[in-house]
Amino acid sequence: MLSYAIRRTLGAIPTLFLIITFAFFMMRIAPGGPFDGERRLPPEIEANINAAYNLDKPLYEQYFIYLGRLAQGDFGPSFKTKDFTVTEMIASGLPVSIKLGLTAIVLALLIGTFLGVFAALRQNRPADYSVMTIAMVGITIPTFVTAPLLTLLFGVYGVHIFGLDITLPVGGWNNGALRNMILPVIVLALPQIAVIARLTRGSMVEVLHSNYVRTARAKGLSSWRVVTRHAMRAGLLPLVSYLGPAIAGLATGSLIVEQIFGIPGIGRYFVQGALNRDYTLVLGVVIFYATLIILLNLVADILYRVLDPRVRYD
Amino acid sequence: MIAAIFTRARFAAAIAAILVISACGQNEQQAQTDAPAAQAQMSITRGEAGEPDTLDPGLATTTSEHAILGEVFLGLTTEDAKAQPIPGAAERWDVSADGLVWTFHLRDHTWSDGTPVTAEDFVSGWRRVLDPKTAAAYALILYDFKNAQAINAGKMPVEQLGVRAVDARTVEITLEHPAPYLPQLLRHQATFPFPRHVFAAHGADWIKPGIQIGNGPYIVTEWLPNDHITLVKNSRFYDAANVAIDRITFIPINDPNAALRRYRAGEMDALNYIPEDQIDWLKANLADQLTIVPKLTIAAVVLNETRKPFDDIRVREALNLAYDRDLMTKTIIRTGQEPAYSIVPPGIADYPMTAQLSFKNLTQPERIARAKELMLQAGYGPQKRLALTFSTIASQDARRVTAAIQQMWREVFVDLEIAQFDGRVLVSKRRAGDFDAAPTGWLADYNDAYNFLFLFLSDNDLNDAKYKNPMFDALLGEAQNEPDLAKRGQILARAEQMLLDDHVWIPTRYEVVSNLVQPHVRGWVTNSSDINRTRWLTIER
């Protein structure tokens, strides 16, 4: 197992290198540069700025300068946000995105598996159909619809139930106060709950019809014991492979949720960086994201092996 | 069975680990929020359309940066509640008879750390901005200073700059040409003083919150990117006794609909922009909080004169005539913009506003009739239609506006194709001259007509139309050497009329400033510069 992990890690290095190279040149092929603002600059000023950022050098030289810096762990200065380096920007946004993302995924995991198992146990009965219909709706309604709806409902109008006045902040992070996290976490978790519920139901239905579960039932084990001890262990396995990329996706933030709720995470860096031609920021985020995906996939594969003795990687 | 329990334990451990990680984050953050909050203080939360890129006044370029830096620093001049220039760090100034030498007398005041602000702080700040190594985008603001452009191009040492610290509290500026608008210019962040002693101690970190000092009413204490920027009152500000608000929180927010929801939820006291598609709702529901005034900004369409047939003035005039400004401002955009018949917008200081498009008084049907005539003369007609591409930005609003132009120009035998690009691509296409027609415009850097008209100088890189007119260039040169403000204004107006008669741009509308301000904020004056310094505001609940 250890040798497997080492082999996988070593194999990731050329992958990462290719991604960096590809991303570097892709960014440069895009027309327009980081300083091509709506307001153009006099030629002498433009020359000064290009010199300050090494943009006056040939592209291959810039590439090697970048690789050299990267080897020392320096992602370089952001081309747009002059007061922060790329490392500082990721370091400031990452804890926020991780906190929000992990809370959402944990919530989604708890509710999603519960709903999935519940539906599987009542297969093809009204409870099953209603849970799966709601899950389908959850998958199809995009976050840019749920987010504004929820903010209008809970923030602008305020919800009054049983004499309780529930008014939540519409935006802002406020150092991660619970009140500020509720709406964004719900918006992030909703589609995940739906996916997880469907995944769980599917595999649970399959497992509940398998021979060993029938054997367990035949031996007179209680229904609860059959489900929790035997069926769920196998039934939740597909989730492990899903969770790797899902955690990576959620922990690196969501552009839409961050924009709508004004959350200082790293999700917006990718899209805004690309639009601003902020070369170093885009590369920094690409490298970070790629590393995280590779790592979490590795963890998922190893976990899978631990959980399912039938899987062998040797 | 033992194996099964073992495996389950590991799975549980993995889940537990995830929970612990997120819980740890929570505790850490909790500790920060538990810090004692000042209760009795007067504070304001202001929504700003953009996140600043930097808090270095020498490098700052955006209006959001200006909004924050103008609270922290005081230029030689500054803004009153209506954003008119008033004495700032300088108490008064004298101008030589030829208008070339300006002497500013600094008021006796200090930086927020107690160090006196000296003439040398200004001189070294200007030299720094013009030093090619600083790579300051707004170095051009100082190009009226003697030798500035040559220094910025690396052709002269910075010591040659026409500025001098006569004594600790007197600074002298020598200009390339008379610039009677200098008090307008000296409000710009690129001209702000430079705390040399802090830079000497901290180097590039001198602009970090906690280290940065200022000579203005507030200092920045915290900046969490994409979340908020906190400023607190500078007790050493020379006029601190008259500053009511103790604390400002700037919230950068670039989604106008999200901004409006936060404003409506009471999370912001003031917001300096609105979602344009919500204008009807805003007028119906928040009429008492919404103010709209003209902005020092012109929106226009530029035609590429290096391409046929836009070198033909008849075609340019026809397209200009056929653009229905009233329809555009009253029906399509509807956020209070006024139809434009000039390039310099109303509200520009010391400018007569006599230059107007010749057809201003014709009705739209009369304009269309004239436009058809011109197109027929130029060789176009119902059988031979002109095909052209309108290159615009990839946005819903741009599409709506361009579709309307398509309809307007169809009447004068033009088939308009719409091409939408991402912002950077569009800019590089315009600069390379790779377009037929494109939206354009200009927002004043300082309140002066020259700041609009210089765009059309033959050698200006910003001259997208590639307009070349030696007579126009000569008039602008003449204006720059005229020390009398009124005479200068008349010369500039003659030059503008030349542009309008040549149909270089199709000026379409004067843009507006739209502010939403809660009723408990007092002293707010929505103005054409869109600058509202917090020192003039107060909160009365």
> How close is the nearest chain A Cα to the Cα of B29, in Å?
6
Distance of CA B396 to CAs B109, B276, B360, B399, B420, Å?
50, 11, 30, 5, 10
Q: Do B261 and A155 touch (CB under 8 A)?
A: yes
Topology given in CATH for the domain delimited by B294-513: Dipeptide-binding Protein; domain 3 (3.10.105)
Task: Please list every residue in chain A whose beta carbon sits closer than 8 Å to the beta carbon of residue B258.
Answer: 148, 151, 170-171, 259-262
Model confidence band, residue A313 (pLDDT cutoffs 50, 70, 90): low
Model confidence band, residue B36 (pLDDT cutoffs 50, 70, 90): very low
Q: What percent of chain B has pLDDT over 90?
A: 75
Contact (CB, 8 A) for B394 and B421: yes
Residue A209 in this model has a pLDDT that exceeds 70? yes
Model confidence band, residue B40 (pLDDT cutoffs 50, 70, 90): low
Topology given in CATH for the domain delimited by B75-108+118-192: Dipeptide-binding Protein; domain 1 (3.90.76)
* All residues at 6 or more sequence positions from A96 whose CB lies less than 8 Å from its CB, including other chains: A173, A176, A253, A263, A264, A265, A266
Q: Establish if A30 touches chain B: CB-CB under 8 angstroms.
A: yes
Q: Establish if B59 touches chain A: CB-CB under 8 angstroms.
A: yes
Q: How is residue A269 written in tokens?
A: 């860096």
**Residue among B263, B231, B268, B265 at smallest CA distance from B248:** B231
Residue ranges per domain, chain B? 1-73+197-289+518-541, 75-108+118-192, 294-513
pLDDT score, position B148:
96
Q: What is the pLDDT of residues B118-155, one digit of tens each?
A: 999 999 999 999 999 999 988 989 999 999 999 999 99
Instruction: Determine the Cα–Cα distance for residues A252 and A47; give it in Å rounded to an integer.
Output: 36
pLDDT score, position A312:
65
Q: Establish if B261 touches chain A: CB-CB under 8 angstroms.
A: yes
> How close is the nearest chain B Cα to the Cα of A160, in Å?
16
Q: Phi/psi of residue B414, each to 5°? A: -115, 130
Instruction: Determine the Cα–Cα distance for residues B520 and B269; give it in Å rounded to an integer.
Output: 8
User: CB-CB: which of A106, A156, A259 is closest to B261?
Assistant: A156
Residue B17 in this model has a pLDDT that exceeds 80? no
Q: Which has the higher per-residue pLDDT, B45 or A244?
A: B45
Confidence (pTM): 0.85
Q: What percent of chain A has pLDDT over 90?
A: 34
Contact (CB, 8 A) for A205 and A120: yes
Q: Do A82 and B10 touch (CB under 8 A)?
A: no
The alpha carbon of residue A55 and the mean position of all alpha carbons in its chain are separated, in whole angstroms, by 33
> How close is the nearest chain A Cα to the Cα of B309, in Å?
26
Task: Identify the bridge partners of residue B45 per DSSP, sorted by sequence position.
Answer: B249
What average pLDDT score do residues B172-198 get?
A: 94
Residue B23 in this model has a pLDDT that exceeds 50? no
Model confidence band, residue B9 (pLDDT cutoffs 50, 70, 90): very low
Task: Please list every residue in chain B whose beta carbon sits closer than 8 Å to the beta carbon of residue A298.
Answer: none
Instruction: Determine the Cα–Cα distance for residues A265 and B211; give it in Å rounded to an integer.
Output: 25
Model confidence band, residue B35 (pLDDT cutoffs 50, 70, 90): very low
- What b-and-e string marks burial along B361-386, b requiring 16 or more CB atoms within 10 Å of the CB? eeeeeebbebbbebbbebebeeeeeb
User: CB-CB: which of A52, A53, A89 is closest to B225?
Assistant: A89
Sign of CA dihedral A124, A128, A134, A138: negative
Residue B3 in this model has a pLDDT that exceeds 60? no
**Residue B467: which H helix or E strand, with range?**
none
Instruction: Determine the Cα–Cα distance for residues B416 and B435; give it in Å rounded to an integer.
Output: 13
Q: Do B261 and A93 touch (CB under 8 A)?
A: no
Model confidence band, residue A38 (pLDDT cutoffs 50, 70, 90): low
CATH 2.60.120.260 assigned to B1-73+197-289+518-541: no
**Residue among B442, B446, B389, B382 at smallest CA distance from B420:** B389
Contacts with A, B 213-252, CB within 8 Å: 223-228, 251
Task: Please list every residue in chain B whose beta carbon sits closer than 8 Å to the beta carbon of residue A156.
Answer: 261, 264-265
What is the rounded (10 degree) CA torsion for B97, B98, B101, B105? 30
Helix axis angle, A86-121 to A178-208, nearest 10°: 40
Find the closest chain A residue to B65 by CA distance. Answer: A81
Provide the mean pLDDT of chain B. 90
Q: Do A37 and B427 touch (CB under 8 A)?
A: yes
User: CB-CB: which of B140, B207, B462 is closest to A83?
Assistant: B207
Distance of CA B59 to CAs A33, B161, B181, B196, B207, Å?
18, 19, 22, 16, 11
Q: Do A99 and B26 touch (CB under 8 A)?
A: yes
SS3 B389: strand
Contact (CB, 8 A) for B430 and B389: no
* All residues at 6 or more sequence positions from A196 whose CB lies less than 8 Å from its CB, including other chains: A108, A109, A112, A113, A116, A239, A242
This complex has an ipTM of: 0.84
Comparing A11-20, A245-254, B283-292, B503-512, the range with the smallest average pLDDT is A245-254
Sign of CA dihedral B492, B497, B498, B504: positive
What average pLDDT score do residues B282-296 get?
A: 93
Instruction: Determine the Cα–Cα distance for residues B488 and B78; give it in Å rounded to an integer.
Output: 24
Q: How is residue A158 written in tokens?
A: 């305020």
pLDDT score, position A30:
85
Q: Establish if A154 touches chain B: CB-CB under 8 angstroms.
A: no
At B462, the amino acid letter reads L
Contacts with B, A 181-240, CB within 8 Å: 229, 233
Model confidence band, residue B366 (pLDDT cutoffs 50, 70, 90): very high
Mutate to test the interface with A, among B227, B267, B434, B443 (most CBs of A within 10 A): B227
User: CB-CB: which of A47, A82, A169 is closest to B54?
Assistant: A82
Task: Please list every residue in chain A whose beta carbon sits closer than 8 Å to the beta carbon of residue B52.
Answer: 83
Contact (CB, 8 A) for B495 and B479: yes
Contact (CB, 8 A) for A81 and A90: no
Instruction: Determine the Cα–Cα distance for residues B489 and B471; give it in Å rounded to an integer.
Output: 17
Contact (CB, 8 A) for B446 and B347: no
Residue B330 in this model has a pLDDT that exceeds 60? yes
Comparing A35-49, B204-218, B290-304, the range with the smallest average pLDDT is A35-49
Contact (CB, 8 A) for B270 and B44: yes
Cis peptide before B382 (omega within 30 of 0): no
Contact (CB, 8 A) for B190 and B148: no
Residue ranges per domain, chain A? 90-264
pLDDT score, position B22:
39
Q: Do A82 and B264 touch (CB under 8 A)?
A: no
Find the closest chain B residue to A155 by CA distance. Answer: B265
Classify the phi-psi angles of A81: left when phi > 0, otherwise alpha if psi is within -120 to 50, otherwise beta: beta
pLDDT score, position B244:
96
Give one DSSP letter per residue of A288-307, joined into a string: HHHHHHHHHHHHHHHHHHHH
Neighbour tally for A218: CB within 10 Å = 9
Comparing B224-228, B338-342, B490-494, the range with the smallest average pLDDT is B224-228
pLDDT score, position B33:
39
Instruction: Determine the Cα–Cα distance for residues B289 and B28; give it in Å rounded to an integer.
Output: 39
Q: Do A83 and B56 touch (CB under 8 A)?
A: yes
Contacts with B, A 238-297, CB within 8 Å: 258-265, 268, 275-277
Contact (CB, 8 A) for B510 and B523: no
pLDDT score, position B205:
92
Model confidence band, residue B21 (pLDDT cutoffs 50, 70, 90): very low
SS3 B138: helix
pLDDT score, position B19:
38
In CATH, the number for domain A90-264 is: 1.10.3720.10
**Residue among A17, A60, A54 at smallest CA distance from A33:** A54
Model confidence band, residue B7 (pLDDT cutoffs 50, 70, 90): very low
How far does chain B reach from its first CA to its final CA, in angstroms? 69
Task: Please list every residue in chain B whose beta carbon sits closer than 8 Å to the beta carbon of residue A80.
Answer: 53
Q: Phi/psi of residue B301, each to 5°? A: -120, 135
> How close is the nearest chain A Cα to the Cα of B38, in Å?
16
Strands (E), chain A: 159-161, 164-166
Task: Identify the bridge partners of residue B393 per DSSP, sorted by sequence position.
Answer: B421
Task: Please list every residue in chain A whose beta carbon sits closer than 8 Å to the beta carbon of residue B7.
Answer: 233, 306-307
Task: Please list every residue in chain B whose beta carbon sits closer than 8 Å to the beta carbon of residue A270.
Answer: none
Q: Do B227 and A82 touch (CB under 8 A)?
A: no
Comparing A219-223, B173-177, B327-331, the range with the smallest average pLDDT is A219-223
CA atoms within 13 A on the CB side of B241: 1
SS3 A85: strand
Contacts with A, B 152-181, CB within 8 Å: 152-154
Q: DSSP label at B4? A: H
Q: Do A32 and B22 touch (CB under 8 A)?
A: no
Model confidence band, residue A314 (pLDDT cutoffs 50, 70, 90): low
> How close is the nearest chain B Cα to the Cα of A174, in Å?
8
Instruction: Determine the Cα–Cα distance for residues A143 and B536; give it in Å rounded to an integer.
Output: 41
Comparing A66-70, B275-279, B372-376, B418-422, the range with the smallest average pLDDT is B275-279
Instruction: Determine the Cα–Cα distance for residues A257 and B320; give it in Å rounded to an integer.
Output: 43
User: CB-CB: which of A106, A155, A233 is closest to B19?
Assistant: A106
Q: Do B428 and A258 touch (CB under 8 A)?
A: no
**Residue among B328, B360, B319 at smallest CA distance from B341:** B360
Q: How is residue A98 written in tokens?
A: 């991780």
> How close is the nearest chain B Cα to the Cα of A126, in Å?
32
User: CB-CB: which of A45, A93, A277 is closest to B137?
Assistant: A45
Task: Please list every residue in chain A whose beta carbon sits closer than 8 Å to the beta carbon of residue B425.
Answer: 30-32
What average pLDDT score do residues B26-45 get?
A: 55
> How close is the nearest chain A Cα to the Cα of B23, in Å?
9
Q: Phi/psi of residue B263, each to 5°? A: -65, -45
Instruction: Determine the Cα–Cα distance for residues B184 and B176; give it in Å rounded to an integer.
Output: 17
Task: Please list every residue in chain B whose beta carbon sits closer than 8 Å to the beta carbon of residue A77.
Answer: none
pLDDT score, position B131:
95
Q: What percent of chain A has pLDDT over 70?
A: 98
Task: Please list every residue in chain A whose beta carbon sits closer than 8 Å to the beta carbon of residue B431.
Answer: 36, 40
Instruction: Determine the Cα–Cα distance for residues B199 and B58; give it in Å rounded to an integer.
Output: 13
* All residues at 6 or more sequence positions from B379 whose CB lies less than 8 Å from its CB, including other chains: none
